[in-house]
Each structure stands twice: as structure tokens, then as C-alpha cells.
Amino acid sequence: MSARAIEYARPKLHRSNFTREILETLVLIVVVYTLFNLATVRFFIEGPSMQPNFWAGDYLVVSRLHYLLNEPQRGEIVVFDPPGDAGPDPLLIKRLIGLPGETVEYRTGQVFIDGVLLDEPYTNEPCTARCEGSWTLAENEYFFMGDNRNNSRDSRVFGAVTRDRIIGEAVLRYFPLNAFTTISSGFRVNNR
């Protein structure tokens, strides 16, 4: 046998068209961006109604899909269109307190659900404004309150909110960057 090296034919690489690759990448970006926008809404916090957990200037991602697959649960941070509000930007963000069929009572600055005291570690101070009242919710109604009870226009003012007025659940705070965090039921962060 000779010491000559056996030469093999090297397969030719098919180089894809650079323009085609750029175009495919751009199409992928547009598709992902479109799907993200269909599934979520970006929401900007205005005012002090959700302090100490959210502050004016916070930006949130709100999932529209969550309530297509699940029912809203107590403690979730929800964006909704309040009843009777026809302003230019009527959407509000509040915490879900009362569920369909429940009786929500607000007495002595505390919330009771069907007579049972609700534990609310996410509030910062006792209520001194609009701290009395009772609301019995129908099968399709929800009761919302801001975490800053003394400075919140919520269901104590405009009443129960029907299911069709709920936009989605807040799932992520993405700005300011130092406050970036996921949001869950019972969310409480005092980072400012």
C-alpha cells in the first residue's frame, strides 16, 4: 500500500442568499412583535392609587391572554374599564378584592368578604376616607380597590365591574429598570 494520502472530494456548501436571510429575520421580528402586541398591553401608572406597590411613572405589561384561559382571582392586579367612565383614557389599574356572588364590607377601615376579615399585607396605612360600605356582587361582577385606600377612585366610588370590562392582569413591571419585577397575586414591594 502506498503512503499517498487519499483525497476525498469536499462537499460544496450552499451559501444562502444574504438578502433572503435578512428578509426572513425581519419577517420573524414582525411576527413576534405582532403576537406580543395581540397578547399584551403596555400600561403606564398615573397617580398614587396603587402606592406603595406601584408609583406614578411605572410601566407594566398586562396579559390579555390570562383571562381568556382563567378566571380573575382575588389579589391580582387588574387593568379594567370602569363603568360610567367615558374619558379619553378611562382604563384603571386596581387590586381585585371581591369575586362574583360575594358580599364585600368595608368597616372600621378593614375589608370583610362574606363576614371574614381579609388579610391585606399590600396596604400601607389604615383607611380614613370612604371606609364604610357594603356591596353584594352579582354572578358577573368584581370589586376592585387601590392599595392606597385613602387616595384611590375605585369600586367604592363607581361600583362593581362586570367581567366584560376587564382587560387583563398585570404580569411584569419593566420600567424603571431598577424596579423590574414580575407581578403575582399579593404583590408587595416597597422599593422606593
Q: Which residues form the catalytic set?
A: 49, 94
> Across the chain, where does the E strand assignment appear?
40-44, 59-63, 77-80, 92-98, 103-107, 110-113, 116-117, 133-136, 141-145, 161-162, 166-175, 181-182
> Cis before residue 176, ω within 30 degrees of 0?
yes
- CA 86 to the chain's CA centroid: 22
- CA 43 – CA 60 distance, rounded (Å): 5
- Grouping H, G, I as helix, E, B as strand and the rest as coil, residue 174 is strand
Cβ(131)–Cβ(108) below 8 Å: yes
The C-alpha cell at 47 is 397617580
In the chain, DSSP finds a helix count (H) and a strand count (E) of 3, 12
